[in-house]
Structure 1
């Protein structure tokens, strides 16, 4: 960022906190006898309730009342303005760097989400294996989620990010290399997906810890909204473009782009300043750290309730995601060589973006329980319209509606967890909660793989619809009267 722009941001209006701090300094100076006008000093009258000749406060208010400390007043205001606003500027720079790194990973994810299941389905022609792959992608959260959160709270964020993005680059980069050498197998695709997504569990844990440290807990919802806006732009075009490239080039070689984007993300993390945060004490054992995170989730009603309800939401999402490829190909009869599969993923991205826009507004006006219950009902309606009628384009609209509801439920839980969790517990609490909430996705995907051959695509997705409706009923009962808590320190 140019120096002039940084200076412009520093001087961009002193906020109310800065003004209050300056008033306190001036008050202290006057009480020490530094201001010759004493009790009648007009520069203090508006805020302190003293004197009878209050005038509007400004940078030169001491000059108007004859105070001899005009220069000191100006210097005090300038120094405090720079100090108090510089942290905001640096937080913006860190957040932008973090957002750049995340954008590279989202590009890789958008392409992989299309190319990898397409590669499996084209090689085998089996719907159950395509659904099984969706389960492999999220299973690592169940297996290593607890340890990932505890380790993220102990180690530097940059170190974790560099190791995990490098592992993802190697895992996905091995696929086009093996294809070129003629030795690629279907198990190789599954192993690469498992390795990369295991690394991403540790990466996500580090990002959960990084975001509150960079932006502050009072701006977490806005930060999520900004990140969702960027991911939406990528998600709109990424899957469709990935589908076109995979149809033209081959899905296996298309994963070269994913590997390159993970390398780009690693390079960006090299220039990211380590966020200042309280680390977990290394004198304790990993198991004790895990226990502390679990204990907080169990004791806190908001976190506990939203985490358990997220399980039902994620089971239904696992059913849907496990059958996206076969629904587009067999239910709607669209070719996988065109952009139609990518359009389906783009529709879900649009829904996710709209859900992220809606949540902050709902959060200011609607109770936590009402948000979750309504989100689950909307998701159930969208899933029904996606899977229970034969028109592809109506199905895309239904996917948008589904993802709005599902995203509101997910982000409501994420935002409340991050807001009430102490800094030193952020990594393990959020990763553990996400492990339970996302643990339903592999269950849903494996359930879809087991049922689709027996009751068909529409019948299997009706199971997901019922799960969402039942979860909404539980949410309406379990979250009634629940109010937001104050953040923990």
Structure 2
């Protein structure tokens, strides 16, 4: 086999730096999945949080998304490894305060809110930096393969983490279980520290004001039609999911009577669906096209909420909910892998700011979604609030069906960069 043939068959896995990034993403998601079980269990079962306190906790957890634009500009401006390490260590430091406060008998919902703010800020910086670093580690032709591998590893980690979280909550309690998440961030920081990335791949070319960097990135996203359309679809999807997620754990644990262990198993089965979606994403996109794959993933989301709205207590419904979540996350991961690769491929510059613009418009509205959910519960009830969140997820399907993305079969080559102040839309 010639060198050219071997290079053509090589995958993203052949790059050592990519393997370190993959390991970092997997281990942090595994730990965070533990906290997905622990923190709701702490709030609902031990601190007896009310529906208003649950909404406030969700609000503070999503609040850092409002500063995503600054995180994206920083990720484009400075070397990325130190930013990833700093965000991991900040998250670990915040988490260890929970078992410390529990031992002192001083844990409150207010402290949980403070911890979730730090975790959210660390996640915003980590995500903007990691996703903008990936195109520097692999070439454009391997982006879909790289994103599929990250998606598969993340889904495995998420599934393992939720099941481990359920076991740990039962064995040592939710407060001590949080230490597993703290440890995962430390391990991630070590992996990133061992990564070697040429500074030329991450260093900025010129110094400008941070505000100007942000404005340039926003203008670029507004003028790139593919990225603009995908983000326009992601925004209402994210808002609808955030409305539902405000009370999703509360609904299962309180209204449907699920135990933390059952809750963890449901999440774990859903994670297994995500693994399947990530592994099959390149194959699905090759068979039906990247555009239809993205659209089907969006369409499955509201349909998968129907069993939740019809569910009652008992094992039979728990099995149904686990299966629905598995189907949902399978298609969501395949769709997410496709749209993420598509955005990275057509964006020759502004990677961090492109991602942060997406985060701001999609996740930045989640605090408002949490507040909206809290207000809807006061006017209606939890089930009706979940139904409204599900209906909102129909909007992005209409947006995508009305766009050229529906006919897109392959990931196009990168387009020229429109000048943020002078150029015409690409």
More divergent stretch after superposition (209-218 vs 468-477):
468-477
Alignment pair present for 1:354 and 2:276: yes
* C-alpha separation in 2, matches of 1:219 and 1:183: 50
Provide the alpha-carbon RMSD of the alignment.
2.5
* C-alpha separation in 2, matches of 1:315 and 1:382: 16
Match of 1:37 in 2: none
CA contact (8 A) 2:241 2:393 kept: no
Match of 2:27, SS state, is helix
* C-alpha separation in 1, matches of 2:113 and 2:155: 27
Structure 1 residues 406, 445: CA separation in 2 closer, same or farther (over 3 Å shift)? Answer: farther
Structure 1 residues 372, 88: CA separation in 2 closer, same or farther (over 3 Å shift)? Answer: closer
Deviation at 1:335, TM superposition (A): 2.4
Deviation at 1:14, TM superposition (A): 2.5
Compare relative contact order (CA 8 Å, sep 6+) and give the higher one, 1 or 2: 2
Where structure 1 has 5 or more consecutive residues not aligned to the other structure, the ranges are 1-12, 19-83
Deviation at 1:140, TM superposition (A): 1.1
Match of 1:400 in 2: 326
Deviation at 1:278, TM superposition (A): 5.3
CA contact (8 A) 2:31 2:181 kept: yes
Structure 1 residues 449, 407: CA separation in 2 closer, same or farther (over 3 Å shift)? Answer: farther
Match of 1:330 in 2: 254
Match of 1:363 in 2: 285
Deviation at 1:210, TM superposition (A): 1.4
Alignment pair present for 1:420 and 2:408: no
Structure 1 residues 446, 349: CA separation in 2 closer, same or farther (over 3 Å shift)? Answer: farther
Match of 1:72 in 2: none
CA contact (8 A) 2:155 2:272 kept: yes
More divergent stretch after superposition (427-436 vs 353-362):
353-362
Structure 1 residues 14, 127: CA separation in 2 closer, same or farther (over 3 Å shift)? Answer: farther
Structure 1 residues 263, 109: CA separation in 2 closer, same or farther (over 3 Å shift)? Answer: same
Match of 2:414 in 1: 487
More divergent stretch after superposition (304-313 vs 132-141):
132-141
* C-alpha separation in 1, matches of 2:11 and 2:265: 38
Of 222, 236, 242, which aligns to 1:318? 242
CA contact (8 A) 1:388 1:458 kept: no
Match of 1:178 in 2: 101
* C-alpha separation in 1, matches of 2:64 and 2:112: 15
* C-alpha separation in 2, matches of 1:434 and 1:461: 23
Select the structure of larger CA radius of gyration: 1
Q: Deviations over 1:425-444 (max 9, x none)?
A: 11111122122122344343
Deviation at 1:368, TM superposition (A): 5.2
Match of 1:201 in 2: 124
Q: Output aligned runs, 1:220-369, within 5 Å.
A: 220-275=143-198, 276-277=200-201, 279-336=203-260, 339-366=261-288, 369=291
Structure 1 residues 257, 290: CA separation in 2 closer, same or farther (over 3 Å shift)? Answer: same
Q: What is the TM-score when the length of structure 1 is the normalising length? A: 0.77
Of 298, 302, 305, which aligns to 1:380? 302
Q: What is the TM-score when the length of structure 2 is the normalising length? A: 0.88
CA contact (8 A) 1:311 1:439 kept: no
Of 353, 378, 381, which aligns to 1:456? 381
Match of 1:274, SS state, is coil
Deviation at 1:340, TM superposition (A): 0.9
Where structure 2 has 5 or more consecutive residues not aligned to the other structure, the ranges are 417-426
